[in-house]
Amino acid sequence: AELLLLNGPNLAQLGRRRPEIYGTTTLAGIEEMVREAVPGHTVRAVQDECEGALVRAVHAAGDCAGAIVNPGALMMAGWSLRDALESFPAPWIEVHLSNVWAREEFRHHSVLSPPASGVIAGLGADGYRVAALALLARIEG
């Protein structure tokens, strides 16, 4: 099956962006980790700084069997991404590298979470791997 791996604004800077919070793994490293976690499946990796591009990627992924979404700061007010994901036909998992509840209060609420199958936060890059395995379990039953 094909899985969508969606990363929002500022996540292309991973590796050099606040490594004490987000770790030293680059986005390319994360994409490779996810691919290795789901052998035999295809991963469609999309990163964009713009919410509209992410919305388009969700629309275009209607044929995907699941999605992993790190929305970055769009977690706080990305309502059009929320609407797009609400209509996404397959299971999807929200991932945050950092433990958002241990940080500033404005990161404590995600408008995306209600339609998600689950939310993973605080496990760093491992969170993506966990999300990939959880999606596989849902897809393969």
Q: Does residue 97 interact with ligand DQA by CB under 6 A?
A: yes
Q: Of 22, 59, 109, 128, which one is the catalytic site residue?
A: 22
Q: Does residue 85 interact with ligand DQA by CB under 6 A?
A: no
Helix/strand/coil (H/E/C) assignment for every residue in 2-52: EEEEEECCCHHHCCCCCHHHHCCCCHHHHHHHHHHHCCCCEEEEEECCCHH
Say how far apart CA 22 and CA 113 lie, in whole Å: 20
Distance of CA 46 to the CA centre of its chain: 10
Q: With CB under 6 A, what is the number of residues at the site for ligand DQA?
A: 10
| Binding map of ligand DQA across residues 65-84, x = CB under 6 A, - = no contact | -----x-xx-x---------
Least distance CB 50 / ligand DQA (angstroms): 14
User: Is 96 labeled as catalytic in the residue annotation?
Assistant: yes
- Residues annotated as part of the active site: 22, 96
Applying CB under 6 A, the residues found at the interface with ligand DQA are: 10, 70, 72-73, 75, 96-98, 100, 107
